[in-house]
Structure formats: structure tokens, C-alpha cells
């Protein structure tokens, strides 16, 4: 039996290119991890600027680059890095000291080699937290040490329980100019106890993130490892001008519930780049509030650039938008991404009752390696905070582009499930070749989708989409936008 040779020819050459690309990426990460850091601003072509981090000459004595006019060592405040002594007071005294230096450019807290056990603590403005490569900040596991905070205003409800929620391990509110960096030191949430209690239904409040920064601007996370969060790992909430670069974010791929890697939530002007994420839920999940609470809060996530990442998510998706997106999500670019050994690749999820919109989204140069489903849009993700949502609040999904989508070993490359109430409009596919593991029908699945395919793609697209040639001339117009070919049995 003759088999179309296109996928095999393409994947052979493309895998070589991908290998070269990721070798170059890892080489740059290696250079980063063993060099110092410096900052400058640069523009990414979207009308806003980000901090850019680059390697510098050798770090200052003791392995610390000095990024502020005044620097302190954690041991100056009586801390002991034996993994047993509780150092909460030392962290709090250090942060208080730095809070008094804002008019002088702030201060830097160096965390030397050791295992520094502490309860949750807050950051302050104009602060750099710098971790030596052999430093590990450890979270106390007993929830009695974790403060309770009001529900997030755009959620109106603890994400897992009504009422107060646990705060994050490292927390900040209403801050400006904060840097968390180092020579690849670690912040460890020691989430195992939390995960076990969650599964056994022994917790009365929503678990806290590992790091949460709220209502803040000019925030940088660079060159550290975040691991084993009790809940979401890194949660910037209603922040502006955030850079996340050269990070490693880890949690077990199974039995670590809701340990998303990065959750930009009602944020704008954000860069996420050059990082490795392997976690127990979504690698990245862009959010903007939940149902009527998110609509009322009214803060969209917008102007976010995500690039040069390697992601693994065995139980969820590499990159998601939603499902909490009621404040709106727009102007998102995702490019140069490898998602491997995962359940899903890139996903948009929403439901009736959400309201809001997802629009002007670009996925470009995305490689999918051994996935169950590659591209997903789901419009019936029916989780709600309470019964007060409006079931007639239908979100708008439009202007979504997929260009340069490659891969191998993908069971269902595309599953776009719009509905009569929530059609998916103006979707574009161009330059796509994904090797498949399921040779039968229903591998490019669509329902209530309007859009187009430019040029030839593999596998063959659904009948819902218009066909254009490489010069973008209409070849065949679809009259089946409302056709349904969704099969969850595959």
C-alpha cells in the first residue's frame, strides 16, 4: 500500500533543524547559568519594553553579582542554612531593612549556599533576591504557618474552596522594581504534603502558589529553579511589565495536582522566554478571571510574548489560554516552542458563562513530539465558582493563527470544538506537517469553525475551513462551517 511520503520526508529534515535549534538554546542556557547577569531595556516590536538579561563578566566575590547599591547576606540576619532551623525572622528582617532603601535604589539580599527553611514571607519594592547556585529556599509544609488571604477579586471564591485562600510562599503586593534571580539556585515549595492532603480532602482552603506577585510592575524572574509548588507555581496577578527568562520550573508529571508552571493572570506587557517547564498541570496557563467576577474586575491579559521554551505536561497542556478568561485575552504570541511527551500541545478552553474574549492569538513554529492531541479549542469547560454566573454570557473566540506547526507521534493533531453559541471565527492554518499515530479518520476534528487553510498542510484539514493556495488566492470556499466531526473516543 502506498503511503504519502510527505510527513516522513518533512519530519526527517525538520527533526534535524529542531535538534540544531535546541542545542543552540541549551548552549545559551549553559552560558547563562555560569555567567553573571546584567539588565537593560529593549523593545519587542509590540509597543512596549521589557528587561533583557545577558551574561556579564565574572560575578563579584562570593559568587554574587551586585545588582543594587547595597547588598546584604542572609546570614547577616542570623539565618542558618541547615534545612532544619526556621529562618522566617531572618528573611523578614532583611526585607524590612531593604524597604528603607527605596530612595537609594533599593537593596539586594544574597542567599548563600545552604538549605534555608522558612515560613512564607513578603518582598518589598526595589529589591533583588539573589540565590547562589547551591542555595535552596525551603517552604515549611505545615499549613498553620501559611497566612490566609481574601479570595482574588476576579475569582470571587477560593479556587478550590469558598472563602479565604492560603497565601503564596513568596508573596508581594503593590510592588515596583523587584528581581528574583541568581546562579540557578532553587525555591522549593515542598508540595508533597499539600498534594496528599488535597487528594484526601483534608484542606479547608485553596492551596497557595509558590510565588505570587500582585498589582505590581517592573518584575523580573531570571535564572532560578522553582519546584514542587503546593498549587500554581508562578502566579503574576494584575501586573505590568514582567520578564520571566532562563527559568527551570519542575513538579512531578503525575500526582502533583494543579502545579501549573506559569499563570499570567490579568497581566499585560509580559515576556516569557528561554526556559524549561515540566509540571503536573499546564506548563503555562494565561488567565483573566472567572465568570461574573472576572467580567466585573475587567482586567484582560494582553501583550504577552512567549518564546523559546521546552515544555512537558503529561496530564494537561503545554500552553493553555483559559479556562478562566472572563476579563479577556488578546495579543498573545507563542513561538519557537517544543512540547514533548504531553497530553495536549496548545489549548484554548472556555465555556458558556465565562463571557470575555480570546482574540488575536498567534502560534508560530511549534513542535509537537509524542502527544495525544496537538491543537485544542474547547468551549464546554464547565467549571464555575458558584451559581451566580450568567449562562448567556458567551465568550468570543476569533483571529487565531497557527503557522509552522510540526511534529511526530501525535494521535489527534487538531480538535477545535466550537458550538452554536460559541463559534470559533477566523482561524488560519499555514505550513503544518504533523506525523500521526492514528491512521483512520477524525484526526483533524472541527465543529462550528470558520477560517482558512493557506497552502498544503498535513494531515488534511476539516471541511469547515476555506482553502487558499500559497499566494492566498481562494481555491475552495467551505459551506460547512457548522459541520461537526468531534470524536473523543480517539
Q: Coil, helix or strand for 315?
A: coil
Nearby residues of 127 by Cβ (< 8 Å), 6 or more positions away = 68, 95, 98, 99, 106, 107, 108, 109, 177, 178, 179
- Biggest CA-to-CA distance, the chain: 76
- In angstroms, the Cα distances linking 432 to 76, 95, 208, 466 are 57, 50, 39, 16
Phi, psi of 90, deg, nearest 5:
-65, -45
End-to-end CA distance of the chain: 24
- Going by C-alpha positions, the residue among 282, 321, 301, 326 that lies closest to residue 155 is 326
- Going by C-alpha positions, the residue among 77, 88, 144, 154 that lies closest to residue 116 is 88
How far, rounded to the nearest angstrom, does the alpha carbon of residue 200 sit from its chain's CA centroid? 27
Q: Are 366 and 395 in contact (CB under 8 A)?
A: no
Q: In which residue are the cell numbers 509544609 written? A: 141
Q: Are 226 and 211 in contact (CB under 8 A)?
A: yes
Q: Coil, helix or strand for 410?
A: strand
With 0-12 / 13-18 / 19 or more C-beta atoms within 10 angstroms meaning exposed / middle / buried, residue 473 is exposed
List beta partners, residue 382.
none
Does the active-site annotation cover 281? yes
Q: Cβ–Cβ contacts within 10 Å for residue 354, how many?
A: 32
Q: Which of 281, 291, 466, 485 is catalytic?
A: 281
**Catalytically active residues, by annotation:** 281
Amino acid at each position: 500500500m502506498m503511503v504519502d511520503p510527505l510527513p516522513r520526508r518533512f519530519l526527517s529534515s525538520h527533526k534535524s533543524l529542531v535538534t540544531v535549534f535546541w542545542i543552540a538554546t541549551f548552549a545559551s542556557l549553559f552560558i547563562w547559568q555560569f555567567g553573571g547577569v546584567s539588565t537593560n531595556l529593549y523593545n519587542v516590536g509590540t509597543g512596549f519594553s521589557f528587561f533583557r538579561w545577558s551574561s556579564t563578566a565574572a560575578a563579584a566575590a562570593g559568587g554574587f553579582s551586585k545588582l543594587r547599591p547595597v547588598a546584604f547576606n542572609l546570614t547577616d540576619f542570623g539565618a542558618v542554612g541547615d534545612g532544619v532551623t526556621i529562618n522566617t525572622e531572618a528573611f523578614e528582617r532583611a526585607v524590612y531593612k531593604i524597604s528603607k532603601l527605596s530612595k537609594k535604589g533599593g537593596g539586594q539580599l544574597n542567599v548563600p549556599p545552604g538549605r534555608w527553611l522558612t515560613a512564607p514571607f513578603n518582598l518589598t519594592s526595589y529589591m533583588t533576591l539573589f540565590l547562589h547556585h547551591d542555595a535552596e529556599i525551603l517552604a515549611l509544609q505545615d499549613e498553620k504557618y501559611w497566612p490566609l488571604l481574601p479570595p482574588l477579586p476576579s475569582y470571587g471564591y477560593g479556587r478550590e474552596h469558598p472563602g479565604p485562600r492560603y497565601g503564596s510562599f513568596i508573596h508581594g503586593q503593590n510592588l515596583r522594581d523587584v528581581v528574583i534571580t541568581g546562579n540557578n539556585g532553587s525555591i522549593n515549595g515542598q508540595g508533597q504534603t499539600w498534594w496528599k492532603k488535597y487528594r484526601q480532602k483534608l484542606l479547608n482552603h485553596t492551596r497557595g502558589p509558590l510565588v505570587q506577585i500582585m498589582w505590581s510592575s517592573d518584575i523580573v524572574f531570571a535564572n532560578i529553579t522553582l519546584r514542587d509548588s503546593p498549587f500554581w507555581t508562578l502566579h503574576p496577578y494584575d501586573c505590568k511589565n514582567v520578564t520571566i527568562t532562563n527559568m527551570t520550573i519542575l513538579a512531578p508529571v503525575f500526582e502533583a495536582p494543579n502545579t501549573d508552571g506559569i499563570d499570567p493572570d490579568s497581566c499585560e506587557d509580559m515576556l516569557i522566554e528561554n526556559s524549561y517547564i515540566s509540571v503536573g498541570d499546564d506548563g503555562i496557563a494565561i488567565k483573566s478571571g472567572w465568570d461574573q467576577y472576572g467580567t466585573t474586575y475587567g482586567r484582560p491579559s494582553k501583550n504577552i510574548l512567549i518564546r523559546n521554551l521546552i515544555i512537558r505536561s503529561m496530564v494537561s497542556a503545554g500552553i493553555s489560554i483559559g479556562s478562566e478568561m472572563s476579563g479577556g485575552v488578546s495579543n498573545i504570541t507563542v513561538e519557537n516552542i517544543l512540547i514533548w511527551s504531553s497530553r495536549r500541545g496548545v489549548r484554548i478552553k472556555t465555556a458558556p458563562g465565562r463571557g470575555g474574549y480570546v482574540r488575536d492569538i498567534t502560534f508560530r513554529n511549534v513542535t509537537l513530539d509524542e502527544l495525544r492531541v496537538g491543537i485544542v479549542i474547547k468551549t464546554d469547560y464547565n467549571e464555575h465558582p458558584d451559581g451566580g454566573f450568567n449562562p448567556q454570557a458567551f465568550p468570543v473566540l476569533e483571529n487565531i493563527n497557527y503557522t509552522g506547526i510540526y511534529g511526530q507521534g501525535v494521535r489527534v493533531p487538531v480538535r477545535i470544538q466550537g458550538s452554536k453559541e460559541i463559534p470559533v471565527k477566523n482561524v488560519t492554518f499555514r505550513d503544518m506537517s504533523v506525523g500521526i499515530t492514528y491512521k483512520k479518520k477524525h484526526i483533524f476534528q472541527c465543529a462550528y469553525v470558520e477560517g482558512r487553510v493557506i497552502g498544503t498542510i498535513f494531515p488534511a484539514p476539516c471541511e469547515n475551513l476555506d482553502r487558499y493556495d500559497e499566494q492566498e488566492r481562494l481555491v475552495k470556499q467551505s459551506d460547512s462551517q457548522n459541520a461537526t466531526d468531534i470524536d473523543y473516543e480517539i
